[in-house]
Amino acid sequence: GENVEQHPSTLSVQEGDSAVIKCTYSDSASNYFPWYKQELGKRPQLIIDIRSNVGEKKDQRIAVTLNKTAKHFSLHITETQPEDSAVYFCAATDTGGGNKLTFGTGTQLKVEL
């Protein structure tokens, strides 16, 4: 099955700085890599996703990069704001397991004023 590792587990940045969260996956046939943001007490919500035929995708202050050869993908948040503080999860499809999503262990991002 798919194994997704996520680093770091906690990340503290100053407002306005950039934040980078990295994930690696094991299933070389994985083709879908979403990122979810979960604020305290709320549901996970998709913020950006990328498919295996694309190397990079950007949406305003957030971007995701995918390196299929190395089997890793990263989330980049620029000009961080206090409202970016949340837990971020990466995920990858497990093609041998009914195409379910396997989630990383989460990164607690704290943006300090």
Q: State the residues that interact with another protein by CB under 8 A.
A: 31-32, 34, 38, 42-46, 49, 87, 89, 93, 97-103, 105-106
CB of 45 to another protein, least distance (A): 7
CA distances from 55 to 33, 52, 68, 69, 86 (A): 11, 7, 8, 11, 25
Closer of 31 and 74 to another protein (Cβ): 31
Closer of 15 and 29 to another protein (Cβ): 29
Give the C-alpha separation, 65 to 51, whole Å.
Answer: 10
Closer of 47 and 111 to another protein (Cβ): 47
Instruction: For residue 2, give the nearest of 87, 92, 98 by alpha carbon.
Output: 92
